[in-house]
Structure 1
Amino acid sequence: MTYTEELIKLNNEKREALSERNQQVYEDFLLYFRTDLRIAEQQAEELLMDILDHLLEAEKEGKTASDLFGENPKAYAEELIAHLPREKKKHQLAVVADAFFSTLAFIFIIQGAANGLLPLFFDYNQAISVGNALVIAIYVGFSIPLAISMVFGFVRQSLFKPDQKKSDTWMILKGGLYGMVWFVPLFLFYTFVPSFGPELSLDWWIYVVVGGLLYLILKIIKGWDKSR
């Protein structure tokens, strides 16, 4: 376990001692920091731990999060973030690569499961067109950075709101709408674009093995990121 992971684990344990209201405000702080990929993760976690310690001490004195952070905690969070060092490009690249290989691994394993099970029940064409597969891979690769940015943006917009339940509902609706927008090009491509390029017909287990290898690559990327 890395030092940053130890800080995250300790934070999870210590903040349970906060009152319900203070915990809500602090967790908004926490998410606001963690969804900002510009800032250095370790320094952000150290600062979050310092904030938690101060809040726990303030709570013992009968104070609230508002007494510590003021009436505009979002502005206070922005001020703190502005003074944190920037994250290395290596980590930002690792986050995108993590999402990309996770998605590809999931697609391969699902395809393998479909090729293994569906022919047992009805006639199923297992062949895939290399051209179509490449277009889909390129689309997924280019859309993932935008997807990460959009999802994190939705989360950040939902924080520090008086009516947190309503804010969370809007966040879910926005996320669902974005998911539909992301899926529509894939649906149109599958529906209207004819197959092109050479066709491959692979056994189901090959897809599963490739999916497993992609997960292995994912583990290597995470290890590489932790060594930064």
Structure 2
Amino acid sequence: MISSKQLISENNEKRKLLNKKNEKYYDDMLVYIRLKAKSSEQQSEEILMELLNHLIEGQRDEKTAEAIFGDDPKGYADELIGELPKEKLINRFPFFSYLLVYLMSIFLMIRGIALLISGFFKHVDTSVFIIKSTLVTVYWLLAIALLIWFILHLVEKSLFTKKGSNWRDGLKAGLAGALSFGLGIVLLSLIPNFGPSFTFGWLPSLISGALLWLICFWAKKKFNII
């Protein structure tokens, strides 16, 4: 059986055979199905490949995407999504675990580099207060999740429209990101240092972040997580 990664690669190549109008129609359906489908990636990519092959065959007979699939691509995509078997949430656990560890690795590496650079100019307190760090970490995880959801919502709204508003969506996403970052900085400054703590310097932070990143890289290749 062809893997989902191979299907995606083949899909990217075959889409080059579509004319501009059919490509726009299909691309919107592709993005919508990938965003909305709650089935496995394998099942979603298989149905997308079937649609693409059908569209390419119809295009050879000078048929448009509207003539093949109808003039309501969103409704047609919803029907297809409804027919796909739902994937259990527990099957997505490896993906969410991977994402969480990956974000932690990036944070730890950035923290290590920031502490190293700051240390050249002033004394840096490398103490980590467990309660404060936990609260701030929870905030950032929620903020990132909401920001990703908001961006995907903007992408979904831009589909199946004749005229896009990419600059407006980009501005909204930028403002949402800036607001999340600003609130995080305010939260960090308002919460006092209290409770148990331990010293965690730039080198341990950088090394642990790099190790977590390598684990993510290995897991992605080994288990084909995403």
Into which bin does the TM-score normalised by the smaller protein fall? 0.7 to 0.9
- Bigger drift between 176-185 and 98-107 goes to 176-185
1:199 to 194, 197, 203: 197
Query: CA contact under 8 A between 2:129 and 2:195: conserved in structure 1?
Result: yes
- When normalised by structure 2's length, the TM-score is 0.87
Separation in 2, partners of 1:180, 1:101: 23
Aligned to 1:128: 128
Note the 1:24-103 alignment, pairs <5 A. 24-36=24-36, 38-103=38-103
The 5 Å alignment of 1:152-191 reads: 152-164=152-164, 166=165, 168-191=166-189
CA contact (8 A) 1:116 1:204 kept: yes
Could you tell me which amino acid in structure 1 is paired with residue 149 of structure 2?
Answer: S
Which sections of structure 1, spanning at least 5 residues, go unmatched?
none
Shift of 1:178: 2.9
Whether the 8 Å CA contact 2:101–2:212 is kept in 1: the answer is yes
Indicate how the Cα distance of structure 1 residues 145 and 118 shifts in structure 2: closer, same or farther if over 3 A, else same. closer
Does the 8 Å contact 2:58/2:64 carry over to 1? yes
Contact 2:136–2:184 (Cα < 8 Å) also in 1: yes
Deviates more, 1:176-185 or 1:131-140: 176-185
Equivalent pair of 1:58/1:68 in contact (CA under 8 Å): yes
Task: Tell me how many residue pairs correspond in the alignment.
Answer: 225
Following superposition of structure 1 onto structure 2, how do residues 94-113 of structure 1 map, counting pairs within 5 Å? 94-113=94-113
What are the Cα deviations for residues 43-68 of structure 1, in whole angstroms up to 9, with x where unaligned? 11001001001111111111211212
Q: Name the amino acid aligned to 1:215.
A: W
Give SS of 2:212's match: helix
* Bigger mean CA offset, 179-188 vs 216-225: 216-225
CA-CA distance at 1:91 after TM superposition: 3.7
What fraction of aligned residue pairs are identical, expressed as a percent? 31
Give me the whole-angstrom Cα distance separating, in 1, the residues matched to 2:124 and 2:142: 30
Structure 2 residue identity aligned to 1:178: A
TM-score (norm 1): 0.86
2 CA distance for matches of 1:91 and 1:13? Answer: 29
Aligned partner letter, 1:114: A
Residues 77 and 62 (structure 1), Cα distance of their counterparts in 2 relative to 1, 3 Å cut: same
Q: Take 1:213 and 1:32, find their aligned partners in 2: how far apart are those partners?
A: 35
> Which residue does 1:119 correspond to in 2?
119
Shift of 1:106: 1.1
Indicate if the aligned counterparts of 2:55 and 2:65 stay in contact, CA closer than 8 A.
yes
Structure 2: 5+ residue runs without aligned partners?
A: none
The letter for the 1-side match of 2:207 is V
* Alpha-carbon distance between aligned partners in 2 of 1:115 and 1:40, rounded to the nearest angstrom: 41
Alpha-carbon RMSD: 2.5
Work out the CA distance in 2 between the residues paired with 1:211 and 1:136: 18
Q: For residues 147 and 98 of structure 1, what CA distance do their matches in structure 2 show?
A: 18
